[in-house]
Amino acid sequence: MASQNHLSCAFLMMTTILVLSPNVKAIPAIPAIPDMGPMTPFCKFAEYPALCKSIVKVGSGADSGSFAIQSAIQATMLQAKQTMTTINKLIATTQDNAVKGSLQTCSELYDSAISDLGTSLQNLKDKEREDMRINLSAVMTDFDTCTDSFNEVSVDSPIAKVNQLLYQLSTNCLNLASHLKL
């Protein structure tokens, strides 16, 4: 468990450093995820298996589908909270009204996504698989809609890369939840 937490934290810290750089105008590309050894059997269901593998480790309790999805949801929630902090800082400093408006939309969407991720963890605990899938689908939609908010006003998103990462993380959560037997 400690090893899994250490590696997950390292991955999330790497992305957070990219996001929280003081002079960030746009988030740089997220680096390739290094090979971290054997993959938990549950990551074979993920749309982004390398990303799943970086979060859910073999031998860390990942032999349980519930543990695998819990780890994936918690990692997504942590990254979303960190990105929300960045979004709020960007709102305070951005001069472009179109960018600011899209960031404000994303802030509301991230608030909803974080809430839905928390509800998904409760759904998992309560063994409510279908409700969990509905909530995780809403999370994916929130991240996708954030991207759309920038596209609709034809401006570059300063959070494009990390938002894409969160979309991928949430996609993996939904894929894992869809294959989970409760």
Q: Quick one: 57 exposed, middle or buried, by C-beta within 10 A (0-12, 13-18, 19+)?
A: buried
Cross-strand bridge partners of residue 39: 57
* pLDDT, block means (10 residues), the chain with 182 residues: 44 43 40 46 86 76 75 96 98 97 98 99 96 98 98 98 98 92 74
pLDDT value at residue 33: 40
pLDDT value at residue 58: 56
CB of 7 closer than 8 Å to CB of 138 = no
Cross-strand bridge partners of residue 135: none
- pTM of the prediction? 0.78
Which residue is it, tokens 């090893």?
3
- The number of beta carbons lying within 10 Å of the beta carbon of residue 19 is 23
CA distances (Å), origin 28, targets 32, 87, 93: 12, 15, 19
Query: Hey, what domains does the chain have and what are their CATH numbers?
Result: 43-51+62-179 (1.20.140.40)
